[in-house]
Structure formats: structure tokens, C-alpha cells
Chain A
Amino acid sequence: MKANIQYAILIAWGILSVSCKKDNYKAPSGAFSGRLVYQGQPVNVSYNEVYFELWEPGWGKSTPIVVNVSQDGSFSALLFDASYKLVIPAAQGPFRSLTDKTTNSDTILLQLSGNLTRDIEVLPYYMIRQAKFTAAGRKVTATFAAEQIIKDAAAKDIERVSLYICKTQFVDGRNSVATKDMSGAAITDPAGISLQVDVPALVPEQKTVFARVGLKIAGVEDMIYSPVQEVAL
């Protein structure tokens, strides 16, 4: 009886130790990371709103790997070593893709072996510069400049600028507790825009809130933002 159990354990152990190796692929290990940038400055967007696609040619059917861009314009993905084609879909982001010099199109070629850190240069319609947030009592004031980057025939107007206050570091219109909008027509001096908003009572009360300003470009879905800043009340 005792021998039977011992045999059983031995056989089970043997099966377990052998079978795990049999059919498992190694997980992808190469980290591809970077930021969306304009002249070295990160392009800030909403979380889960902007993505790009990585296509790996050579397989029977092509399905892209979708990489989401974080709030601060950074992204990262664990990938197998291979050559990829990176495409930002035209409808994505508050920017236009630049023509890649190698492919003469909006496609960027990536050769991945091991880790790769690479920033993707894009051409935003506007950039938010010198965003400053100050709080006096429960009133948060933001001052910033909206610099127009694309000025040729493709230029677009500002639809509105908004100051968002959120309880967590994910800051945009979807979860703001206080919002102040200003329409594009009401902006007199794009180099010195000021927005003010009162922070309502928060439950539970917290000593700091997170703020940033966003700029909605007319006819473009995704907004461009300033970096998030924690403001002490």
C-alpha cells in the first residue's frame, strides 16, 4: 500500500515536471518603450484614448498589436524579437503623423532584438506651454500658453480649453470633479490663458488634488494636455 502511494507520487511528479516544458512558448521579453514627442517635449493625452498599431508582416493573416499611450505620452510593450511596422491610425491623437524618412510614408520600421527605447516624433496641432497651477483656498488657478504648431493649410482652430481637477492622477473630463471651460473664441491672448475653478468638497476629504489643462482642437477628437500636477489645497 505504502509503495503504491509512493509510486503514484513519483509518477505524478514525473509527469508534472516533464509536461510543463513540453508545449510552452517563452513569453515575449523585449521591451519596446518610449514617448510620443514633439521636438523632445512629450505629447500629453488622455489615458486609454490614443493607441498605435504594430504590424508584424510574414504571417498568414495580419492582426495588429495595439499599444496604448499613457497620459504623459509614454508607452511600453513586451514583444517578441522581430521586425515590426509601426502605424498610428489617422484618427488617433491630437497630432498628425510625420513622414518617415526610410519608408516615405507614415509607417515606421522597428527592428526589435532585446529592449528598445525610442521616442516617436509627431506633429501636434498645438502644444501647451508653461502650465502653472496655484491654489488659494479652494480656488485653483491655471495659467498657460497655447502655441500653435501647425500653421499651414491644415491648421485648425481651438474649440475650447479646459481646466480639470480630479481626485486621482488620472485627469481629464471623464473623471473630473470640477471643470472650467473657455471657448476658443473667448481666448484673447493664446500666450497667456488663465482659468480658475473652485474645488467642491470632496468625500473623503483630501489635502491635494490633481490638475491639468486640456486643449480641444476643432474637428479633432483627442485632446492635448499639459502634464498632470498635484496641487495642495
Chain B
Amino acid sequence: MKKHWLYICLVILACNVGCNDKDFLNVKPSDVLQNDQLWNDEGLILSVLADLYDRYPDRQTDVNNSPIPSMVVQTIDNWGEFARFDEAFASENGQYWRHGASDYPYVFPGMIVKGAGEVTYWDYAYIRELNIFIDKCGTSTKLKQEVKNRFIAEARYLRAVVYFEEVKRVGGVPLILQPMTYDYKGDPAYLQHARAKESEIYDFVISEMDTVRKYLPAGAVSKTRATAGLALATKTRAALYAGSIARHGVTTPQVSLPGGEAGIPVAKANDYYTIALNAAKELINSGSYALYKKNADNFTQNFISLFIDKGANPEVIFAKDFKLQSGRVQPWTLWSQPRSNAEEQQGGRLNPSLNLVQSFELLDNTFAPLNINAPGGGYVYYNDPLDLFANRDPRLAATVILPGSEFKDKKVDIWAGYIRRNGDIVTGDNFGAKSRLEPNGPEVQVVGYDGPVNNLEFSAQSGFIIRKYMDPTVGSGRIGTQSEVWWIRYRYAEVLLNAAEAAFELGQRDVAAGYINQVRERAGFKIPLTAADMTFDRIVHERKVELAFEGHEFWDMKRWRLAHKVWNGVRTALTTNPGKSDEPSTRVFALWPYKVYDPGSPNNGKYIFKQVLPGAVTSAHGFRLGNYYAAINDDIRNNNPKIVKNPNQ
């Protein structure tokens, strides 16, 4: 009994002493930064901003290991997505489905969520954090005004970019510019906002660019943070997209909504094109950027270096940077290095298609399929496989590793086998496989160490390997080292092509020719295009070859409303008219070199080429009209009944 009294006294004592000291409950945590600490420290704000930059919407994360949704985009750390259309073949066992699937899902291109497959790109979590940043950074009292303005402008730039990505995929979305907070009163209706018009989102992006560039540094002071030049480049791209949706959207009235959430009235086309042209002109006249011409005597090497030269590169406006031994490296070269001189037991994944290769025009500005079949039957014989590609656009050899060309100072070994006089093929089923050409002869190599072998992963199954962005540094193909070549999101040549397209659509063909010729002259063309040469097909073609494997093709085809014509789901043969913009191109074709085995004949040892369809290409790509605007998932519409359906729903 005595003990009880003791306990009761102790408890009373503890309560009295503990509650007296109010400061005891106000101890600042040592592991979490407080608002007033964070928003008054320039270095801390910069690290918050760095995280926001890192989530710029072209990120790729490994969906199998991470709960973070990853976006379906074509970037330097997601090689497979480049094989989704007609630019390339994916030479890896787990990626052949891209060539066996006919239709694209209606939510494509969305986000991959762990365990849930592909869902609508609807990244309001990121937008909310950007809104909070803008809100809180504005409350800072100790920062210098110009520092604060720059931080806020950068966050606003990123926010506009997210909306730009949203509108490219799903059309108009709710425009949320304040961090919203739930009041726990049971009625969330005040948080539910209807979709804005598609044009309103584009208008928002354009006007934001005008605002933020006042606070961003002028000139090319940074390639990895927002600058005034980047704001102009984004403005011209956004305005051009909006203009072409207005102009070309009239051919697809089925994919518009009466409320304007999808589709832009054709009457607005000229306004948008004018904005695009003026913004591009302003950037061009600013003199901050220029075309990359460091190797003026070698056009091919120049175009290769443009993407891998990170030292004072005048063409790059905005890039995602990587650094060796920092944890931020990229495996583009590891994935696609030629198997014959690979630094690991892998490589050769991304194989540009014959469809793309034959699109590169001849130096006299004309188009022609590759000359592989002699008139009247038989093959055309070449001493060197590179001779087939002679007199083509120098950008071809800079974009694609051609058979017979070099990578890392070693010739690649791409040939599919020996062909006898009677047409019989002698080949093997592995890299550099050996076989006998004569019944009692010696065993000789009968297939290249890079392939191509049908259905053998890592072999150059299209007969080509990607070269753009491939890093020639020793170690770039090692898993433990990888590459620090950056991923260019905006570059000056695109701005010139944007200006050319906008001018063309406004009827100023001579202006358009002037801009497009700058790009073509740098590429190595001697004969400039005249105003009369300027056609819509020319615009489409130039972007296709200049910007191949830079993540532009899909969005371009979409905004021109060409996607459903080019990827029409019908099994068509390879076009013989590669300069025409709406020729169907639904399957990736390959071009396989063979060595001639015909002792005694003058053709012995020469090369012939065969056009083949890789075995994994079993379906024709079908881009349906409903793919122009991705479906908005049911759970989004359940949470917010004000969201109207897209045309495919």
C-alpha cells in the first residue's frame, strides 16, 4: 500500500515538472530543415531546385526497382523507346515485342507505374511541388531580390515545361498554379478543376516564357539551367506545336472536343506560327548560339562531335548532363556498342532501320532508295560496303554506324554471310561463326562479329548500329564506367528548323529556305534549296534526318497529323519514295551485306546487299486516331468528375 502512494507521488511530480517547461516541446528537429531555415539559404534552395530540375519530364527510372512512375519517352537512358516506331530495330530478346505489337495503347505515351502498367501522364505531384517552391521562395526575406527572382523563374520554367508535356500527350489539362490544400471538411469539390482548352495551355506556356526570360540570365552562361535563350527556344517550339495542331488538325476533326480541350481552331494557326517565327528570330539575332562547325573540313566528323563535344559547344541550349564517377552516368554506348569491339559481352541493341537510312538524300538534293538491285535482275556489286552509301548526306554516316565504317578506331564487322554464284547462302548462327565454303576446305568465318543474325540479340539485325551520341572514350562501354555524354534537349539547329517551318507555313518560302539552308550547309550540302524547292515534304524530311534519335519524330508526326497515315497498321513494302512525307512506313526493314564467294569471277570477294524483314518484325504499327490524345484514366475521372473524356474514350 505504501508503494502505491510512492507511485502516485512520482506521477504527479513528473506531470508538474514535465509540463512546466514549454520549451521542451518546442525543440527544433535536428534532421529536418524548417521553412525559415531553408528558404533563407541560397545553397539549400539551390539543392531543392536541383531535385526539381532532375525531375524534368524526360526522366527514366527503372520500373522494376522503383516505385517512382517512369515516363514513356525517348531519351538517352531509354534506348528501347526509339524502336517503337520506324526509326530503329530493337535487338534484344526482351524488346522484340515492339515489332510484334500492332496497336499502341490508348494511354500511350504515359507513365509506367510499378505493378500497374501504363497509365496517363498526369504528374500533378510534380506540379504541386513546383507550386510550393514558387510560393515559399517568394516568402524568403534574406535572399537578394535578383537571386530570388532567378530561382522563381527557373521553377516557373519547369512548371511550364510540365504543362507543355501534358498538353502534348492528353490535350488541355486543369491549369493549377497554386499549391492546393484540403480542408478536411468532407467536400473536395473546390479542389476539382475542369480541363483548360488545349490552346489555353499552349498560351500559358508561351506567356510564361515571356515572363521568366526577364529574370533569367541572358547569353549561354549555363547549358544545364534555364536561361533567357532557353525560354525563347521553348517558346518557339510550343508555338510551332500549337500552330501545326491548328493548321493540320483540320484533317482530323474526329480527334477534337467541342469544348476545345482537344484541338485548336484553324483560325489561330497564323498567330501561333508568327509567334514561333518571331521568337526564333529573336534567339537567332541574339547571337548567343551558333551552329557547331569545329570540324569544318569533315562534315561527318563534325556532326558526330556536335553531340559528344561538351567543351564550349555553341549549339547546345539546354542539356541533361552526366559526369563520370559521380553516380550520374549513362549507358547509351554500353547498350549499343558494336559487338565486335565491345567492352562487355553485350551491345548492338539499337539498330537504325533501312527506312531511316534510305531517307538520307543524295548530295544533289534528290531522293533515291539505295542502289542494291541491278536493272534487269541480279545484284549490284560493291568493293567496299561503304560505296553503297557514297554521295549521301554526310549526316547519315554520323547518325548510323554503316557496314564497313569504324567505331573507336576499329572497323565494324557487319555482314550476314557468303553468297555463292547460284545464290546459295553460307552463314552461321552466332557472332563470327565458322563454316566450310568447300566440302574439304578449311573452316572460315562466314558471318560478321557484329552479325547480323536473325533473332540473335545484340547483333546488328537491321544491318546498322546507332552512332549518334555514341561515346568513343575508352571505358564508355563498360558497365562500371559508362559515359558522361550529355543528352541535348534543345539545340540551335532545331530553332533554325522551327523558324523555317513557321516561315513556310506563313507563306514566306524564301525566309524558310534561308533558315533550312543554314542547317543543310553545315550538314555538308553544297547546293542551297531555293524558295521554289520549299515544300511541306522538305520540312518533314529535314527534321527527320537532322533530329533523328533526339526524341522529336513521334511528336512531329503527331502534330502534323501524319502519324495515322505513316503508321497506318497495314503491311506495306518499303517505300521507294523516301522524300514523301505521308508514305506508309509501318515495319522496320533491314539491309544485310553479303560477301560474294565465286572463285575465278571478278566479283569474288565483293559485297552485295539484300533488303530483308527481320524475323522479329511480325506486325505492322498502327497508330489509331484515338492515339492523338491519350486516354485519361478512369481513376482520374472518378476523383474529379469535371474532367471530360478524350475523343478515344
Contact = CB atoms under 8 A, between A and B. Distances in A.
A176 B254 contact: no
B638 A62 contact: yes
Nearest to A220: B254
Interface stretch (B151-159, B189-197, B282-290, B621-629): B621-629
Interface string B557-573: 00000001000111100
B571 A89 contact: no
Given A61-B635, A174-B622, A221-B624, A91 B569 contact: no
Contacts of A176: 571
A179 B570 CA distance: 10
A174 B626 contact: no
Contact of B254 (A64, A179, A221): A221
B634 A173 contact: no
B620 A174 contact: yes
B571 A219 contact: no
Contacts of A183: none
Q: Is the interface of A mostly helix, strand, loop or mixed?
A: loop
Contacts of B254: 91, 219-221
B620 A91 contact: no
B575 interface: no
A48 B101 CA distance: 12
Contact of A91 (B103, B568, B622, B626): B626
Contacts of A90: 647
A59 B299 CA distance: 64
Nearest to A61: B638
A168 interface: no
Contacts of B619: 174
Nearest to B622: A174
Interface residues of B, number: 21
Interface in A11-43: none
Contacts of B625: 91, 221
Contacts of A220: 254
Interface in B241-288: 253-254
Given A61-B634, A219-B254, A221-B254, A174 B648 contact: no
Given A91-B647, A91-B648, A174-B619, A62 B634 contact: yes
Contact of A89 (B620, B635, B649): B649
A134 B580 CA distance: 37
B554 to A, nearest CB: 19
A62 B637 CA distance: 9
Interface in B536-576: 564, 568-571
A64 B634 contact: yes
Contacts of A91: 254, 625-626, 647-649
Nearest to A175: B571
B102 interface: yes
Nearest to A48: B103
A63 B637 CA distance: 10
A227 to B, nearest CB: 21
24 contacts: A48-B103, A61-B634, A61-B638, A62-B638, A63-B634, A63-B635, A89-B648, A91-B254, A91-B648, A91-B649, A173-B571, A174-B102, A174-B569, A174-B570, A174-B571, A174-B620, A174-B622, A175-B571, A219-B254, A220-B254, A221-B254, A221-B624, A221-B625, A221-B626
Interface of A: 48, 60-64, 89-91, 173-176, 179, 219-221
Interface of B: 102-103, 253-254, 564, 568-571, 619-620, 622, 624-626, 634-635, 638, 647-649
Given A174-B622, A176-B571, 4 more contacts: A91-B648, A219-B253, A220-B254, A221-B564
